[in-house]
């Protein structure tokens, strides 16, 4: 008898209520679960199985799209978290267009089931609802706002970071509520944020959230706010890295950073491609002055020779060509010679010989060998070589005025 009913059921033939009921009451869990999974089972039978003593059967009912909504509402209170999780995954997909003011009975029950699951005591259940609704533009606003205020980050973060339903007012209110740690960082990662919301994030004094904001290339942070973040980064050093690597950086912020940014970030700041030539030069000069001053103080404290200091800075990756300009401007000729020797892979004696040669072409070749910018050759000739104005060689179109072959020959003549 049972075998015949199962065969009839499996072939998609309609069972009368009593036949289906017999299968639903069968002692074999596999039989009851098969009925619970069937898309053509009678609503009454599915409702009946929603109270089955075995969780796997109730989970099958939670999964079944044919399950009557009354049974779904019943399962929102199921004692088994797995059953409620399966139900959450199904009901959340029905969320588009639902609201708290539904008149239609079926839609009203669907909304109530969704709302109940969004408030479930199990974090996993609420997380499933949040992950499913996070990108829906027409998800129920009331449910979205509740999820956004959840005390568990894994629940609120997907909605805070992605939901298009949340308004600027919603986001500001959530920030004011002092939400769970990490919630503001999720907001900072949103693809669009207003100036007001970004100001709120900064005012909340959440360093991690501000760092996320700086790393968010899809938002435009106004210059005034970037300057204030920059000022804060003087003491909150964890903000310096995201500032230096911010996709676009105003001139004022770049110059401020050059004044104090950590040594390991200097190269990244100098290598930025978005700074105009004038700003890039000003940043290089500021950084060079800083490093030179620091090196001078350290050398004085340890009685370090100029050449030893230059070699040490080069080994640390902190000796840059602009430091030669800074040294010459500051009258530190000995250190300029040491830096040129290290940068050009020459001996200090050879550099001194070129400096005393009164040969402007040799000074130009030395500048090139040390990697100085072409515009540095005027300073080099005047301050290092004491070349008279009438003999000074100028750049041509911003380039070195001699060919590389000429400069190589000149250096070989002086022993390099």
> Could you tell me the mean pLDDT of each successive run of 10 residues in the chain, 416 residues long?
57 63 84 86 90 94 93 95 95 88 85 94 96 94 95 96 95 93 96 94 94 93 92 89 86 79 72 72 66 58 76 87 85 88 90 89 91 89 84 87 89 76
Contact 20, 35 (CB under 8 A): yes
pLDDT (0 to 100) of residue 267: 75
What confidence score (pLDDT) does residue 386 get?
84
pLDDT digits (tens, 9 = 90+) for 28-43: 898 888 889 888 888 8
CA distance 128 to 130: 5
Matching residue, tokens 């019943």: 74
Count CB neighbours of 310 within 10 A: 27
Q: What is the pTM of this model?
A: 0.64
Three-state secondary structure call for residue 399: strand
Q: Please give the full DSSP string across 181-211, using - where no structure is assigned.
A: TTHHHHHHTSS---HHHHHHHHHTT-HHHHH
- The domain locations on the chain are 314-413
């Amino acid at each position: 008898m049972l075998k015949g009913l199962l065969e009839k059921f499996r072939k998609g033939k309609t069972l009368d209520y009593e036949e289906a009921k017999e299968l639903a009451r069968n002692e074999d869990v596999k039989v009851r679960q098969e009925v619970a999974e069937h898309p053509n089972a009678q609503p009454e039978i599915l409702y009946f199985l929603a109270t089955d003593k075995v969780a796997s059967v109730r989970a099958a009912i939670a999964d079944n799209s044919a399950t009557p909504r009354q049974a779904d509402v019943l399962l929102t209170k199921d004692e088994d978290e797995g059953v409620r999780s399966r139900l959450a995954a199904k009901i959340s997909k029905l969320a588009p267009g639902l609201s708290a003011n539904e008149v239609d009975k079926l839609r009203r029950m669907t909304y109530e089931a969704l709302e109940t699951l969004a408030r479930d005591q199990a974090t996993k259940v609420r997380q499933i609802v949040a992950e499913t609704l996070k990108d829906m533009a027409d998800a129920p606003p009331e449910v979205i706002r509740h999820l956004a205020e959840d005390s568990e980050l894994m629940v609120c973060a997907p909605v805070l970071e992605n939901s298009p339903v949340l308004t600027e007012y919603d986001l500001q209110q959530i920030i004011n509520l002092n939400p769970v740690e990490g919630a503001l960082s999720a907001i900072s990662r949103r693809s669009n944020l207003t100036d007001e919301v970004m100001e709120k994030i900064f005012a909340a004094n959440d360093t991690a959230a501000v760092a996320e904001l700086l790393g968010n290339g899809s938002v435009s942070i106004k210059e005034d706010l970037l300057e204030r973040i920059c000022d804060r980064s003087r003491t909150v050093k964890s903000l310096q890295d995201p500032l230096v690597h911010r996709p676009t950086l105003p001139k004022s912020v770049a110059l401020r950073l050059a004044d104090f940014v950590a040594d390991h970030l200097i190269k990244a700041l100098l290598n930025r491609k978005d700074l105009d030539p004038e700003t890039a030069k000003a940043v290089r000069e500021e950084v060079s002055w800083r490093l030179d001053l620091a090196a001078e103080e350290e050398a004085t404290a340890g009685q370090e020779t100029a050449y030893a200091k230059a070699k040490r800075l080069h080994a640390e990756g902190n000796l840059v060509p602009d430091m030669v300009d800074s040294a010459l401007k500051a009258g530190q000729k000995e250190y300029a010679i040491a830096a040129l020797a290290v940068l050009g892979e020459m001996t200090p004696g050879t550099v001194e010989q070129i400096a005393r040669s009164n040969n402007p072409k040799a000074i130009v070749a030395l500048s090139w060998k040390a990697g100085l910018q072409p515009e540095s050759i005027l300073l080099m000739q005047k301050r290092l070589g004491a070349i008279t104005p009438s003999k000074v060689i100028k750049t041509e179109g911003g380039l070195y005025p001699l060919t590389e072959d000429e400069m190589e020959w000149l250096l070989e003549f002086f022993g390099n």
